[in-house]
């Protein structure tokens, strides 16, 4: 979550700019505010388990992010919390977590792949994570594959015409620009991958 907050803060202006072109310029601000609040909450409450960390993250994102992305990310983390079975996350657990997050987003937002939303990053991430996990990969490799797929998915939103969310008001004019929610998703999953790689290295 600290990594997500750092990424949101570092890429704040870039996400604002993406949302300025096809939305209302607030996505960078929304996720920066949201994940900063998450880190503050986690430091204050210091939840001990993965499940409680994810639940507190969900609750905080829902109440601080606002916009369309707040409830979507909140639901993603809530479903992710429900997917976690134990006190440690292995490769299969990480894949299940991303799949659960995606399911939360599609249940809540009703977008399918190809509609130029964050689903276009989460869905390929979930597929790549599952493929790696099924091949026996550990958590760091699963998340690295997911992060790469999310980044590719975000890039692939550029030519798409938005049919969900605020960008859909632009119709054909939404084509030619990257979706801000897909872009931030790639940053968040990359942060998770970096954290997992660091944890594995530490042993
Ligand atoms: P708002 O659109 O309310 O200003 P944000 O700017 O924070 O909220 O978030 C915009 C992002 O939310 C979009 O780039 C898109 O990725 C995502 N989004 C919007 N609607 C949906 C939806 N129905 N399903 C999935 N993602 C969505
Ligand atoms: Mg916006």
The per-residue pLDDT for range 106-159, each reduced to its tens digit, is: 999 999 999 999 999 999 999 999 999 999 999 999 999 999 999 999 999 999
Q: Give the model's confidence band at 200: pLDDT under 50 very low, under 70 low, under 90 confident, else very high.
A: confident
Does ligand 1 have an atom closer than 6 angstroms to the CB of 192?
no
Nearest CA to ligand 1 atom 4: 67
Q: HSE, CB side, 13 Å, CA atoms: give it for residue 47.
A: 17
pLDDT beyond 90 at 203:
no
Predicted confidence at residue 99, as pLDDT, reads 98
R_g of the chain computed on alpha carbons = 16
Does ligand 1 have an atom closer than 6 angstroms to the CB of 109?
yes
Cα(43) to ligand 1 centroid in Å equals 28
pLDDT in tens, 148-196: 999 999 999 999 999 999 999 999 999 999 999 999 999 999 999 999 9
Predicted confidence at residue 109, as pLDDT, reads 98
pLDDT in tens, 53-109: 999 999 999 999 989 999 999 999 999 999 998 888 999 999 999 999 999 999 999
Cα(129) to ligand 2 centroid in Å equals 28
**Segment 26-36 mean pLDDT:** 98
Nearest CA to ligand 1 atom 3: 67
Q: Higher confidence at residue 9 or residue 202?
A: 9
Tell me which ligand sits closest to the C-alpha of residue 72.
1
**Ligand 1 atom at minimum distance from 166 CA:** 2
Predicted confidence at residue 86, as pLDDT, reads 85
Nearest CA to ligand 1 atom 20: 165
What phi and psi, each to the nearest 5 degrees, are found at residue 28?
-60, -40
Tell me which ligand sits closest to the C-alpha of residue 76.
1
Nearest CA to ligand 1 atom 19: 165
**Ligand 1 atom at minimum distance from 179 CA:** 14
pTM of the model: 0.98
5-33 burial, b for 16+ CB within 10 Å, e for fewer?
Answer: bbbbeebbebbbbbbeebbeebbbbbbbb
Nearest CA to ligand 1 atom 14: 181
114 Cα distance to chain centroid: 17
Does ligand 1 have an atom closer than 6 angstroms to the CB of 32?
no
Residues 6+ apart with CB under 8 A from 161: 116, 171, 172, 174, 175
Predicted confidence at residue 46, as pLDDT, reads 96
Q: Higher confidence at residue 88 or residue 21?
A: 21
């Amino acid at each position: 979550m600290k990594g997500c907050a750092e990424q949101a803060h570092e890429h704040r202006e870039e996400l604002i700019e993406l949302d300025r072109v096809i939305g209302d310029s607030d996505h960078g601000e929304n996720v920066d505010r949201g994940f900063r609040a998450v880190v503050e909450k986690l430091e204050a409450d210091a939840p001990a388990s993965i499940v409680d960390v994810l639940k507190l993250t969900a609750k905080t994102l829902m109440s601080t992010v606002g916009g369309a992305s707040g409830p979507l990310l909140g639901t993603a983390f809530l479903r992710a919390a429900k997917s976690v079975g134990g006190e440690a996350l292995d490769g299969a657990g990480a894949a299940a977590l991303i799949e659960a997050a995606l399911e939360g987003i599609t249940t809540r937002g009703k977008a399918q792949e190809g509609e130029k939303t964050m689903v276009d990053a989460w869905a390929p991430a979930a597929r790549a994570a599952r493929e790696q996990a099924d091949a026996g990969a550990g958590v760091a490799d699963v998340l690295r594959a997911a992060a790469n797929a999310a980044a590719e998915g975000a890039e692939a939103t550029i030519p798409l015409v938005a049919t969900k969310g605020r960008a859909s008001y632009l119709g054909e004019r939404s084509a030619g620009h990257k979706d801000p929610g897909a872009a931030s998703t790639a940053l968040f999953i990359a942060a998770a991958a970096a954290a997992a790689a660091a944890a594995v290295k530490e042993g």
